[in-house]
Amino acid sequence: MKKSPIILFENTLRQLFIKLIGSDDDSNYKVTEQRINAWKEKREIERKKYKGTLIEDRIIYYSDFYDLRTIIHKNWEIFSPIFIEKKRFDIFFNEIEKFRNTLSHGRELTSSQENLMNGIVDDTRNQITIYHNKNIMKEDYFIQIISINDNFGNSWPNINENIILRVGDIYELIIDANDPKDREIQYYLYSIGGKINVPSQSNNKISFEITNQMISQNTSLLVCAFTPNSDYENKTHVTISLTILPSK
């Protein structure tokens, strides 16, 4: 399902923050402690609401819309090479905020407003692309896995030991991958030895049941992402170590 332009705008900025500032709770977004605590409270509410279900764990995804502009302003020395003119950024941000408020109150946008909204989102994404192209690195051509979170509270790249699972568990992963060319991304899993094999899919949430055949002291699970429509081989993977125990 296609994301709304406003969600795309918000998450484009959040992904930029993650890349240039970080995604940890203690990343220096230069906002007040009160705002960080508010984000943490929202995350905790989400955890309780969906207890036992995998949710987005990165703190920046619990920021409010207006927080995004605050972060840009407070870290302008980082973002000025991308957005160039602060006044121009503010004008565009204000327009998106107006459209967001209109939609949140159940009103529809006119065709001209929709065109302007889509144009602002495209322009913002293009500015980021231009910045990347001026600072060419391999990350500007190849897909990357940014993070992996599971329904047992583990988060890659902060996993340093085997994850313990038991037969009968439902193991669920959310894979956050980024392709700099914005191509379609597919995801799949397999283990060395072939006991675990989940075919490719476009949904970045993958789950499977742990069975008796998977019992092992050490299982290497390869979490893979690739772009099927690229002109060159564009895939990557992360290896997660599992210990799979009997149900009792």
- Asked if 239 contacts 220 with a C-beta cutoff of 8 angstroms, the reply is yes
- If asked whether residues 122 and 165 sit together in one domain, one would say no
User: How many Cβ atoms are within 10 Å of 232's Cβ, its own excluded?
Assistant: 7
Tell me what pLDDT residue 132 has: 76
Please check whether residues 110 and 170 belong to one and the same domain.
Answer: no
Last residue of a domain, one of 79, 101, 135: 135
202 shares its domain with 80: no
Higher pLDDT pick, 187 / 129: 187
Q: For residue 209, which of 174, 241, 244 has the smallest C-alpha distance?
A: 244
Out of 112, 135, 158, a domain closes at 135
Predicted confidence (pLDDT) per residue in 16-72, tens digit: 999 899 988 999 999 999 999 999 999 999 988 888 777 888 999 999 999 999 999
Residue 147 CA to residue 181 CA, distance in Å, equals 19
- The whole model's pTM is what? 0.62
Give the pLDDT band (50/70/90) at residue 220.
Answer: very high
Q: Which domain holds residue 154?
A: 144-245
Please give the pLDDT value at position 227: 95
Q: How many domains does the chain have?
A: 2
Per-residue pLDDT reduced to its tens digit, 60-95: 999 999 999 999 999 999 999 999 999 999 999 999
* pLDDT higher than threshold 50 for residue 1: no
Q: What is the pLDDT of residue 137?
A: 58
